[in-house]
Chains A and B, each alone.
Chain A
């Protein structure tokens, strides 16, 4: 006898595919925001499923801070080749060179906030009306209230107090010229769901997620990788550790954890026993209690 219900991963997959198809049907020029992190890789995988046997019918867009892990860029280029889709790159370095933004100063300087300008410029230049992201509601408290279809005004800003009500699965993507939407197909997935699904589907992810030997320095309670951008403090010391990364952002701010998990199965097991949130190792979220909400209001991912 067949069972007529889906398990939770199949239901989440089906929901995400539904959202991706709604995006394609309701917008003229959508893109997937691709960072090379596991969430955007997952969204891309789901898009492949949503439109099969056709190719993904829209481009991937990468906001390149210039502070990348080299592994991320290689992974990005490989996946573009495999999918046969177009890649749009918005470059933070170009935004700096053009004087659109100014580099932060000091030892904890990052290009994290600068991405907002580059992202919004790329959206405007390429006439993008919907940017599909891998944001999840379990990541952070400001994201817990995010809609599947999230409206941005003509300055790219999010107004969390005036969001469109979203009932059942009826998504309203109507917008005026110059406005755009962010769509979040994996809103309802948790970090654990993502890992369970990646393991089940055997989805390729960058080697950075697996435990590997790396030169790192202990800073703000995590192992920050050595790179050409790292400025050492007096008491700090570069050491080699076996680490892996739970999330991938800029090489300057993404802290690793010590780990021996070198397979998807071991990672899933490790994550299920974790007692810290994944963004706990991201110094960009530690700046204030409403750091994420403030950035999102301005147009962050």
Chain B
């Protein structure tokens, strides 16, 4: 066991034909993450369906309805480990009607793999997936130009895709884009370097995932600590006076002695200690779960946020967000929804739908004022009490919200604060 291995979460979006399931199957198979009994089950099913050899794509089919229909409906999570890293794959369907699932899978990802069929080049779906990756601010995007075996491993075909992609993505906010020519079916440049593409000097996909620099993806500057709950041991004599604010650091670095402000009350104090089960810590950074004790006895509860006094988030009742509608029932005007931002629960109303984005053409529509499932739009929201916010591009946790319909308790929308 190597102790310093990091965890990398990535998402793959794709539809039935672009080889996404085959790619995941190939990654798992070539990195020896598929067990014998799983492989046997796939071999049996492949035979039953009359496929030649093992259909690696079958490995990623989860629920019964999906196996019957041969499509991935929901987000499914897969795991594999190499000697260098542990990986979590959020495997999402790529059709337009599953935009909400793609958004869900993208929300926690460090990296996105976008598959392009080398024969067809950049198509609407590629644009949609790239747009979602940029909207959700996935720090790293890897464009895998797949099915290179079907274009005779041609460098020109690969370069065409790169040119097409760069042309349309110039307006998007993706910091780090890489391209890799692969054949998921044959395994070229997935785990092992391709012997058919000497002209490609870069690394295969797995090596890229293993070595990509991810520790700077987390905000280390703006110290944010949303309080989840207060720990007060009551029966225990020794710790009876302990009052720890439990939560996870969601940005920046906290140290004992730091001058802090509690928001929204504005009370100030100093950090007395930062504790976990093993004892007191010298510092805590995202995403560590800790308990903070303060020098002064002030009234703090769930929904409050502890921040460093010299660097505060914005406290406001008016926010603008890029909203993805997730629910079957469309938005209702002038309806109060519950809004959750970190551990803070309030009520909110959608005041204005500024525009909707047609995610096929990326054009703005200012006429349509109802939000339907899978719609992405810019909206203005008014909350009953202030939220302590950062912009989503500064901090994915303190910059995100969900809306909950109180009549059904369902999560109906997810938003990124702009």
Residues of A within 8 A of B242 (CB): 53-54
The residue from A53, A142, A163, A169 contacting B236, defined by CB atoms under 8 A apart: A53
- Tell me if B409 and A176 are in contact (CB < 8 A): yes
Contacts of A14 in B (CB 8 A): 248, 287-289
A16 → B minimal CB distance (Å)? 8
Q: Does B144 contact A (CB under 8 A)?
A: no
Return A198 CB to nearest CB of chain B, in Å: 12
Q: Does A1 contact B (CB under 8 A)?
A: no
Given pairs A17-B248, A280-B35, 13 additional interface contacts (CB within 8 A): A5-B215, A5-B218, A8-B5, A17-B289, A22-B343, A53-B238, A54-B242, A55-B233, A141-B76, A161-B63, A170-B400, A190-B79, A276-B35
Residue of B nearest to A141 (CB): B62
Residues of chain B contacted by A12 (CB below 8 angstroms): 7
Of B100-108, B314-322, B351-359, B363-371, which binds chain A?
B100-108
Partner of A7, one of B4, B218, B400: B4
Q: Which residues of B contact A172 (CB under 8 A)?
A: 340, 402, 404, 409-411
User: Interface stretch among B198-206, B224-232, B263-271, B378-386?
Assistant: B224-232
CB–CB A167/B289 < 8 A: no
Query: When chains A and B are docked, how far (Å) is the Cα of A291 from the Cα of B363?
Result: 46
B99-151 contacts to A (CB < 8 Å):
100-101, 103-104, 107-108
| B220: A residues at CB distance < 8 A | 4
Judge whether A192 and B231 touch: CB under 8 Å.
no
Smallest beta-carbon distance B266→chain A, Å: 23
Could you show 25 A-B contacts with beta carbons less than 8 Å apart?
A: A3-B4, A8-B7, A21-B246, A21-B289, A53-B242, A54-B231, A55-B236, A137-B79, A142-B63, A145-B77, A161-B73, A161-B74, A165-B101, A167-B103, A167-B104, A169-B397, A170-B340, A170-B342, A172-B340, A172-B409, A174-B338, A280-B37, A289-B64, A290-B67, A293-B64
Question: Which of chain A's residues have a CB closer than 8 A to the CB of B73?
Answer: 161
Which B residue's beta carbon lies closest to that of A166? B104
Closest to B107 in A: A167
**Residues on B with beta carbons closer than 8 Å to the beta carbon of A160:** 63, 74
Q: Select B289's contact among A48, A50, A54, A144, beta carbons within 8 Å.
A: A50
- B310 lies within 8 A of chain A by Cβ: no
> B211 contacts the other chain (Cβ, under 8 Å)?
no
Which A residues, 95 to 153, have Cβ-Cβ distances below 8 Å to chain B? 137-138, 141-142, 144-145
A266: CB under 8 A from chain B? no
Kindly state the separation between the CA atoms of A170 and B342 in the bound complex, as whole angstroms: 7
B338: A residues at CB distance < 8 A: 174
Chain B contacts for A190, CB-based, 8 A: 79, 81, 86
B247 at the binding interface (Cβ < 8 Å): yes
A293 CA / B250 CA spacing, docked (Å):
35
Q: With the chains together, A145 CA to B218 CA distance in Å?
A: 26
B residues within 8 A CB of A40?
Answer: none
Determine whether the beta carbon of B6 is less than 8 Å from that of A7.
Answer: yes
Give chain B residues whose Cβ lies under 8 Å from the Cβ of A175.
409
Q: Are A25 and B229 in contact, with the CB atoms below 8 A?
A: yes
Bound CA span A264–B253, Å:
35
Q: A145-B74, A167-B104, A290-B64 are in contact. Are A21 and B35 (CB under 8 A)?
A: no
B403-415 vs A: 1/0 string, CB under 8 Å? 0101001110010
Question: In chain B, what residue has the closest Cβ to A195?
Answer: B1
The residues of B that contact A192 with a CB separation of less than 8 Å are 81
Contacts of A168 in B (CB 8 A): 107-108, 396-397, 400, 414
Say yes or no for B36: interface residue by CB 8 A criterion: yes
Interchain CA distance A293-B75 in the complex, whole Å: 16
Q: Which residues of A contact B340 (CB under 8 A)?
A: 170, 172
B311 adjacent to chain A (CB < 8 Å): no
Q: Are B5 and A274 in contact (CB under 8 A)?
A: no
Rounded to whole Å, the gap between the CB of A58 and the closest CB of chain B is 12
Q: Closest CB of chain B to A23's CB: distance in Å?
A: 10
Q: Is A15 an interface residue (CB 8 A)?
A: yes
Task: Please name the residue on chain B nearest to A84 by beta carbon.
Answer: B235
Q: Does B158 contact A (CB under 8 A)?
A: no
Expressed in whole angstroms, the Cα–Cα distance for A21 and B247 within the complex equals 8
Task: Decide if B35 touches A18 in the complex (CB within 8 Å).
Answer: no
Contact call A163/B74, Cβ cutoff below 8 A: yes
Most interface-central of B229, B234, B401 (chain A CB within 10 A): B229
Assess A18 versus B289: contact at CB under 8 Å? Given A24-B229, A165-B100: yes
A195 to chain B, nearest CB (A): 9
Given the complex of chains A and B, what is the CA–CA distance between A25 and B6 in angstroms? 29
Whether, in the assembled complex, A188 has its beta carbon less than 8 Å from a beta carbon of chain B, the answer is yes
**How many angstroms from the CA of A185 to the CA of B353 in the assembled complex?**
36
Question: A24 vs B247: C-alpha distance in the bound complex, in angstroms?
Answer: 12
